[in-house]
């Protein structure tokens, strides 16, 4: 046996449910199916503990899942309970949804119908509303999201905080160090 779907009674389902409720409200309509794999998987010689995927149309038709999360049993079983929660929370951060873009009126077209244009910033980035984009059946249009920060340790060692993504990450890290020093008891003990 290499990969299997976790039983609905698995302790991971309530963990995922609580994380969605607390931090990922955009996933409240998402069907997330959990899998376990007892074969190890490495990428560029780094251990993969878990991974998130968006279900393909075929998979959705057969399993009804919107996303799948797979945990790799060997590294997973080495984690503490708070690390397991962090790991699942991380995978849920990859599970995103498309949002409607901000549009501005740009005069009227033929027949007097109002025309709209998607608003972009000076770098060409689209500006989004908080409204979830839906398909013709009213279902959210799901997507996978990349990490907030992609960087090499060597670059930070040589050039320091050279861009805003690293700066933003450092600020969060500084804050979480302060928070965690007062919360350690709870995060070790907590199961919710
Ligand atoms: Zn990731």
The per-residue pLDDT for range 36-58, each reduced to its tens digit, is 999 999 998 899 999 999 998 89
- If you average pLDDT over every residue of the chain, what do you get? 91
Q: What is the DSSP letter of 91?
A: H
> 51 CA distance to ligand 1 centroid (A)?
7
> 91 CA distance to ligand 1 centroid (A)?
6
* pTM for the structure as a whole: 0.86
> 46 CA distance to ligand 1 centroid (A)?
12
How far apart are alpha carbons 37 and 71 in whole angstroms?
Answer: 6
Going from the N-terminus, what domains does the chain have, and what CATH number goes with each? 3-96 (3.30.2010), 99-132 (no CATH), 147-192 (no CATH)
> 88 CA distance to ligand 1 centroid (A)?
10
pLDDT band at 189 (very low <50, low <70, confident <90, very high): very low
Q: Taking 50 as the threshold, does the pLDDT of residue 165 lie above it?
A: yes
Let me know: does 115 contact 108? Beta carbons within 8 Å.
yes
How far apart are alpha carbons 144 and 12 in whole angstroms?
Answer: 21
> 86 CA distance to ligand 1 centroid (A)?
11
> 147 CA distance to ligand 1 centroid (A)?
6
How far apart are alpha carbons 97 and 56 in whole angstroms?
Answer: 15
């Amino acid at each position: 046996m290499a990969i299997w779907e976790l039983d609905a009674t698995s302790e991971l389902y309530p963990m995922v449910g609580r994380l969605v409720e607390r931090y990922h409200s955009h996933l409240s309509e998402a069907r997330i199916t959990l899998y376990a794999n007892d074969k190890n998987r490495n990428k560029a010689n780094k251990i993969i503990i878990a991974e998130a995927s968006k279900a393909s149309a075929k998979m959705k038709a057969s399993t009804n899942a919107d996303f799948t999360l797979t945990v790799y049993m060997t590294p997973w079983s080495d984690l503490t309970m708070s690390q397991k929660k962090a790991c699942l929370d991380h995978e849920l951060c990859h599970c995103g949804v498309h949002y409607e873009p901000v549009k501005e009126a740009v005069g009227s077209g033929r027949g007097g119908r109002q025309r709209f244009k998607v608003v972009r910033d000076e770098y060409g980035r689209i500006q989004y509303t908080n409204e979830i984009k839906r398909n013709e059946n009213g279902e959210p249009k799901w997507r996978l999201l990349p990490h907030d920060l992609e960087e090499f340790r060597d670059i930070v060692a040589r050039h320091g905080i050279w861009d805003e993504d690293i700066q933003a990450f450092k600020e969060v890290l500084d804050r979480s160090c302060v928070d965690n020093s007062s919360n350690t008891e709870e995060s070790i003990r907590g199961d919710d």
